[in-house]
Amino acid sequence: MHISKRLGSKVAEEVISYIFIIVGALLASFSVVCILLPNDAIDYGTAGIAIIINKLTDINLSVCVIMVFAPFLILGTIIMGWAFGLKAIVGSAVYTLGIAIFEKIPFELDTEHFIAVAFGGALLGLGLSLILKFGGCIDGSEIFANIVTKKLSEKTGRNFSMTPILIGFNACVYIAVFLLINRSAALMSLLVYVIATSIINRFTDHYEAIKQVRIITKEPDELVKAIKDELGKTCTMMNSFGAIAGENTTLICYVNYFELPKLKQIIGRAGGSYTTVSTIDEIIKS
Protein backbone atom coordinates (compact mmCIF):
# COMPACT_ATOMS: atom_id res chain seq x y z
CA MET A 1 0.00 0.00 0.00
CA HIS A 2 2.81 2.39 0.95
CA ILE A 3 4.73 1.59 -2.27
CA SER A 4 1.58 2.10 -4.38
CA LYS A 5 0.89 5.47 -2.74
CA ARG A 6 4.48 6.54 -3.23
CA LEU A 7 4.37 5.51 -6.92
CA GLY A 8 1.11 7.41 -7.43
CA SER A 9 2.67 10.52 -5.88
CA LYS A 10 5.66 10.27 -8.25
CA VAL A 11 3.38 9.92 -11.28
CA ALA A 12 1.37 12.96 -10.17
CA GLU A 13 4.58 14.98 -9.75
CA GLU A 14 5.71 14.03 -13.25
CA VAL A 15 2.35 14.97 -14.79
CA ILE A 16 2.43 18.35 -13.00
CA SER A 17 5.99 18.96 -14.17
CA TYR A 18 5.00 18.34 -17.82
CA ILE A 19 2.01 20.70 -17.46
CA PHE A 20 4.25 23.52 -16.20
CA ILE A 21 6.82 22.83 -18.94
CA ILE A 22 4.06 23.13 -21.56
CA VAL A 23 2.75 26.37 -20.01
CA GLY A 24 6.29 27.77 -19.86
CA ALA A 25 6.98 26.88 -23.50
CA LEU A 26 3.76 28.59 -24.63
CA LEU A 27 4.61 31.72 -22.62
CA ALA A 28 8.09 31.80 -24.16
CA SER A 29 6.84 31.35 -27.73
CA PHE A 30 4.13 34.00 -27.25
CA SER A 31 6.71 36.45 -25.91
CA VAL A 32 9.08 35.88 -28.83
CA VAL A 33 6.53 36.01 -31.67
CA CYS A 34 4.00 38.55 -30.40
CA ILE A 35 6.16 40.96 -28.39
CA LEU A 36 9.90 40.70 -29.03
CA LEU A 37 10.09 40.23 -32.81
CA PRO A 38 7.57 43.01 -33.62
CA ASN A 39 9.65 45.34 -31.42
CA ASP A 40 13.00 44.65 -33.11
CA ALA A 41 14.36 42.29 -30.42
CA ILE A 42 15.14 38.57 -30.47
CA ASP A 43 15.50 35.68 -28.05
CA TYR A 44 18.95 34.53 -26.95
CA GLY A 45 20.77 31.18 -27.15
CA THR A 46 19.96 28.76 -29.96
CA ALA A 47 16.52 30.36 -30.36
CA GLY A 48 18.39 33.55 -31.23
CA ILE A 49 20.39 31.65 -33.88
CA ALA A 50 17.13 30.32 -35.36
CA ILE A 51 15.70 33.86 -35.53
CA ILE A 52 18.87 35.17 -37.24
CA ILE A 53 18.59 32.42 -39.88
CA ASN A 54 14.90 33.27 -40.35
CA LYS A 55 15.65 36.97 -40.88
CA LEU A 56 18.50 36.29 -43.33
CA THR A 57 16.84 33.55 -45.38
CA ASP A 58 13.05 33.99 -44.92
CA ILE A 59 12.77 30.30 -44.01
CA ASN A 60 9.76 29.79 -41.74
CA LEU A 61 10.74 30.52 -38.12
CA SER A 62 9.34 27.27 -36.69
CA VAL A 63 11.34 25.31 -39.29
CA CYS A 64 14.50 27.24 -38.31
CA VAL A 65 13.86 26.43 -34.65
CA ILE A 66 13.56 22.71 -35.42
CA MET A 67 16.74 22.76 -37.54
CA VAL A 68 18.79 24.47 -34.81
CA PHE A 69 17.30 22.70 -31.78
CA ALA A 70 17.38 19.12 -33.13
CA PRO A 71 21.16 18.41 -32.86
CA PHE A 72 21.27 19.73 -29.28
CA LEU A 73 18.21 17.71 -28.24
CA ILE A 74 19.74 14.53 -29.66
CA LEU A 75 23.06 15.16 -27.92
CA GLY A 76 21.33 16.07 -24.66
CA THR A 77 19.26 12.89 -24.70
CA ILE A 78 22.29 10.70 -25.44
CA ILE A 79 24.54 12.25 -22.79
CA MET A 80 22.03 13.22 -20.07
CA GLY A 81 19.52 10.39 -20.47
CA TRP A 82 15.91 9.93 -21.50
CA ALA A 83 14.43 11.48 -18.34
CA PHE A 84 15.98 14.82 -19.29
CA GLY A 85 15.68 14.29 -23.05
CA LEU A 86 11.94 13.61 -23.00
CA LYS A 87 11.17 16.80 -21.10
CA ALA A 88 13.49 18.78 -23.37
CA ILE A 89 11.80 17.32 -26.47
CA VAL A 90 8.29 18.05 -25.13
CA GLY A 91 9.25 21.62 -24.18
CA SER A 92 10.92 22.27 -27.54
CA ALA A 93 8.01 20.73 -29.49
CA VAL A 94 5.46 22.90 -27.65
CA TYR A 95 7.67 25.99 -28.10
CA THR A 96 7.92 25.32 -31.85
CA LEU A 97 4.19 24.64 -32.14
CA GLY A 98 3.49 27.82 -30.17
CA ILE A 99 5.60 29.84 -32.62
CA ALA A 100 3.68 28.39 -35.57
CA ILE A 101 0.32 29.19 -33.91
CA PHE A 102 1.13 32.68 -32.61
CA GLU A 103 2.55 33.72 -36.00
CA LYS A 104 -1.00 33.43 -37.36
CA ILE A 105 -2.69 35.32 -34.50
CA PRO A 106 -2.77 39.12 -34.83
CA PHE A 107 -1.50 40.78 -31.65
CA GLU A 108 -0.28 44.30 -30.97
CA LEU A 109 1.06 45.62 -27.66
CA ASP A 110 0.13 49.30 -27.75
CA THR A 111 2.92 50.77 -25.64
CA GLU A 112 6.38 52.28 -25.94
CA HIS A 113 9.08 50.28 -27.74
CA PHE A 114 11.35 50.00 -24.67
CA ILE A 115 8.51 49.01 -22.31
CA ALA A 116 7.29 46.35 -24.76
CA VAL A 117 10.76 44.78 -24.96
CA ALA A 118 11.17 44.88 -21.16
CA PHE A 119 7.76 43.23 -20.70
CA GLY A 120 8.54 40.65 -23.39
CA GLY A 121 11.85 39.82 -21.71
CA ALA A 122 10.10 39.39 -18.36
CA LEU A 123 7.45 37.11 -19.87
CA LEU A 124 10.15 35.10 -21.63
CA GLY A 125 12.06 34.78 -18.36
CA LEU A 126 8.92 33.58 -16.57
CA GLY A 127 8.27 30.93 -19.22
CA LEU A 128 11.86 29.67 -19.21
CA SER A 129 11.85 29.67 -15.38
CA LEU A 130 8.88 27.29 -15.35
CA ILE A 131 10.59 25.00 -17.85
CA LEU A 132 13.90 24.88 -15.96
CA LYS A 133 12.24 24.64 -12.53
CA PHE A 134 10.43 21.46 -13.55
CA GLY A 135 13.38 19.73 -15.19
CA GLY A 136 12.92 20.77 -18.81
CA CYS A 137 14.97 22.78 -21.28
CA ILE A 138 14.18 24.40 -24.64
CA ASP A 139 17.48 26.11 -25.35
CA GLY A 140 20.41 24.30 -26.92
CA SER A 141 22.95 26.67 -25.35
CA GLU A 142 22.11 25.27 -21.91
CA ILE A 143 22.47 21.71 -23.19
CA PHE A 144 25.76 22.66 -24.86
CA ALA A 145 27.08 24.28 -21.65
CA ASN A 146 26.03 21.25 -19.61
CA ILE A 147 27.80 18.85 -21.98
CA VAL A 148 30.99 20.93 -21.99
CA THR A 149 31.12 21.22 -18.19
CA LYS A 150 30.37 17.50 -17.85
CA LYS A 151 33.25 16.58 -20.17
CA LEU A 152 35.61 19.01 -18.43
CA SER A 153 34.67 17.55 -15.05
CA GLU A 154 35.32 14.01 -16.29
CA LYS A 155 38.76 14.96 -17.64
CA THR A 156 39.94 17.15 -14.76
CA GLY A 157 38.03 15.85 -11.75
CA ARG A 158 36.92 19.42 -10.99
CA ASN A 159 33.46 20.99 -11.01
CA PHE A 160 32.77 23.86 -13.40
CA SER A 161 30.01 26.47 -13.56
CA MET A 162 28.06 26.85 -16.80
CA THR A 163 28.10 30.66 -16.51
CA PRO A 164 31.23 31.43 -18.61
CA ILE A 165 30.10 29.10 -21.40
CA LEU A 166 26.58 30.55 -21.52
CA ILE A 167 27.90 34.12 -21.52
CA GLY A 168 30.37 33.29 -24.30
CA PHE A 169 27.70 31.53 -26.38
CA ASN A 170 25.25 34.41 -26.10
CA ALA A 171 27.96 37.01 -26.72
CA CYS A 172 28.56 35.30 -30.09
CA VAL A 173 24.81 35.42 -30.83
CA TYR A 174 24.59 39.16 -30.09
CA ILE A 175 27.72 39.95 -32.08
CA ALA A 176 26.09 38.12 -35.01
CA VAL A 177 22.89 40.18 -34.53
CA PHE A 178 24.98 43.38 -34.43
CA LEU A 179 26.87 42.51 -37.62
CA LEU A 180 24.17 40.75 -39.65
CA ILE A 181 20.94 42.49 -38.66
CA ASN A 182 21.33 45.92 -37.01
CA ARG A 183 22.65 47.74 -33.95
CA SER A 184 19.22 48.48 -32.50
CA ALA A 185 18.21 44.79 -32.59
CA ALA A 186 21.46 43.83 -30.82
CA LEU A 187 20.92 46.37 -28.01
CA MET A 188 17.25 45.47 -27.56
CA SER A 189 18.11 41.77 -27.54
CA LEU A 190 20.76 42.37 -24.89
CA LEU A 191 18.07 44.02 -22.75
CA VAL A 192 15.91 40.91 -23.21
CA TYR A 193 18.82 38.73 -22.06
CA VAL A 194 19.47 40.81 -18.93
CA ILE A 195 15.81 40.88 -17.86
CA ALA A 196 15.04 37.24 -18.71
CA THR A 197 18.13 35.81 -16.99
CA SER A 198 17.50 37.97 -13.90
CA ILE A 199 14.05 36.43 -13.53
CA ILE A 200 15.33 32.91 -14.26
CA ASN A 201 18.08 33.22 -11.64
CA ARG A 202 15.52 34.50 -9.13
CA PHE A 203 13.20 31.51 -9.57
CA THR A 204 15.81 28.78 -10.09
CA ASP A 205 18.48 30.01 -7.65
CA HIS A 206 21.18 30.58 -10.29
CA TYR A 207 20.62 27.46 -12.38
CA GLU A 208 23.97 27.91 -14.16
CA ALA A 209 25.94 27.62 -10.89
CA ILE A 210 27.25 24.48 -9.17
CA LYS A 211 24.93 22.81 -6.66
CA GLN A 212 26.21 21.33 -3.40
CA VAL A 213 24.07 18.45 -2.16
CA ARG A 214 24.36 17.24 1.45
CA ILE A 215 22.82 13.84 2.17
CA ILE A 216 22.51 12.60 5.75
CA THR A 217 21.94 8.84 5.79
CA LYS A 218 22.56 5.70 7.81
CA GLU A 219 23.26 3.61 4.70
CA PRO A 220 25.76 5.55 2.58
CA ASP A 221 27.32 2.71 0.56
CA GLU A 222 24.31 2.12 -1.70
CA LEU A 223 23.96 5.85 -2.41
CA VAL A 224 27.66 6.36 -3.14
CA LYS A 225 27.67 3.44 -5.58
CA ALA A 226 24.51 4.64 -7.38
CA ILE A 227 25.83 8.22 -7.67
CA LYS A 228 29.11 6.91 -9.07
CA ASP A 229 27.48 4.48 -11.53
CA GLU A 230 24.62 6.69 -12.77
CA LEU A 231 26.08 10.18 -12.57
CA GLY A 232 29.81 9.54 -12.67
CA LYS A 233 30.19 11.66 -9.52
CA THR A 234 32.06 10.99 -6.32
CA CYS A 235 31.13 12.00 -2.77
CA THR A 236 32.89 13.27 0.31
CA MET A 237 31.90 11.17 3.35
CA MET A 238 31.88 12.44 6.93
CA ASN A 239 30.78 10.82 10.16
CA SER A 240 28.00 12.82 11.81
CA PHE A 241 25.67 12.53 14.80
CA GLY A 242 22.04 13.51 15.18
CA ALA A 243 20.46 14.36 18.53
CA ILE A 244 17.59 11.99 17.77
CA ALA A 245 18.81 9.76 14.91
CA GLY A 246 22.21 9.08 16.46
CA GLU A 247 25.21 8.08 14.34
CA ASN A 248 24.94 8.54 10.60
CA THR A 249 27.01 9.60 7.58
CA THR A 250 26.93 12.91 5.73
CA LEU A 251 27.64 12.73 1.99
CA ILE A 252 28.61 15.87 0.06
CA CYS A 253 28.25 15.82 -3.72
CA TYR A 254 28.62 18.55 -6.36
CA VAL A 255 26.43 18.53 -9.47
CA ASN A 256 25.08 21.00 -12.02
CA TYR A 257 21.43 22.04 -12.31
CA PHE A 258 20.55 19.49 -14.99
CA GLU A 259 22.12 16.63 -13.02
CA LEU A 260 20.19 17.55 -9.88
CA PRO A 261 16.87 15.86 -10.84
CA LYS A 262 18.70 12.58 -11.51
CA LEU A 263 20.46 12.82 -8.15
CA LYS A 264 17.11 13.44 -6.45
CA GLN A 265 15.76 10.27 -8.09
CA ILE A 266 18.73 8.27 -6.76
CA ILE A 267 18.23 9.66 -3.26
CA GLY A 268 14.47 9.01 -3.43
CA ARG A 269 15.01 5.37 -4.40
CA ALA A 270 17.29 4.80 -1.43
CA GLY A 271 14.93 6.47 1.07
CA GLY A 272 15.62 7.10 4.74
CA SER A 273 17.79 10.17 4.19
CA TYR A 274 17.73 13.92 4.79
CA THR A 275 19.01 16.13 1.97
CA THR A 276 19.79 19.82 1.51
CA VAL A 277 20.77 21.63 -1.71
CA SER A 278 22.69 24.90 -1.87
CA THR A 279 24.22 27.03 -4.62
CA ILE A 280 28.02 27.32 -4.84
CA ASP A 281 29.47 30.30 -6.69
CA GLU A 282 33.03 28.99 -6.81
CA ILE A 283 35.13 25.98 -5.85
CA ILE A 284 38.84 26.54 -5.28
CA LYS A 285 41.07 23.50 -5.58
CA SER A 286 44.70 23.86 -4.52
The CATH number of whichever domain residue 246 belongs to comes to 3.30.70.120
Tens-digit pLDDT profile for residues 146-189 = 888 878 877 777 777 788 888 899 899 989 988 988 888 888 88
pLDDT of residue 29: 93
Considering its fold, how many domains does the chain have in total? 2
* Mean pLDDT across 202-214: 85
Tens-digit pLDDT profile for residues 83-129 = 888 888 999 999 999 999 998 888 877 778 888 889 999 999 999 99
Asked whether residue 79 is domain-assigned, the answer is: yes
pTM of the model: 0.83
Neighbours of 269 (CB within 10 A): 10
Q: Which of 204, 238, 263 is the last residue of a domain?
A: 204
Same domain as 196, residue 152: yes
Among 35-49, 154-168, 180-194, 228-242, the least confident range: 154-168
CB environment 226-258: b (16+ within 10 A), e (fewer): bbeeebebebeeeeeeeeeeeebbbbebbbbbb
Asked whether residue 272 is domain-assigned, the answer is: yes
Helices (H), the chain: 2-30, 45-57, 61-80, 82-102, 113-133, 140-156, 163-180, 183-204, 220-231, 260-270
pLDDT of residue 286: 63
Tens-digit pLDDT profile for residues 51-69 = 999 989 988 999 999 999 9
Same domain as 218, residue 177: no
Give me the percent of the chain exceeding a pLDDT of 90: 28
What DSSP assignment string belongs to 161-190?
-SHHHHHHHHHHHHHHHHHHT-HHHHHHHH
Same domain as 34, residue 15: yes
pLDDT of residue 126: 94
- In the structure, what pLDDT confidence band is assigned to residue 5 with cuts at 50, 70 and 90? low
Task: State which residues form the domain around 127.
Answer: 2-204
Same domain as 7, residue 138: yes
Backbone angles phi, psi at 166, to 5 degrees: -65, -40
Same domain as 62, residue 198: yes
Phi-psi region of 40 (alpha: psi -120 to 50; beta: other; left: phi over 0): left
pLDDT of residue 154: 75
Asked whether residue 181 is domain-assigned, the answer is: yes
pLDDT of residue 106: 83
Q: Which of 204, 226, 254 is the last residue of a domain?
A: 204
Asked whether residue 132 is domain-assigned, the answer is: yes
Asked whether residue 285 is domain-assigned, the answer is: no
Asked whether residue 286 is domain-assigned, the answer is: no
Same domain as 137, residue 241: no
Same domain as 86, residue 183: yes
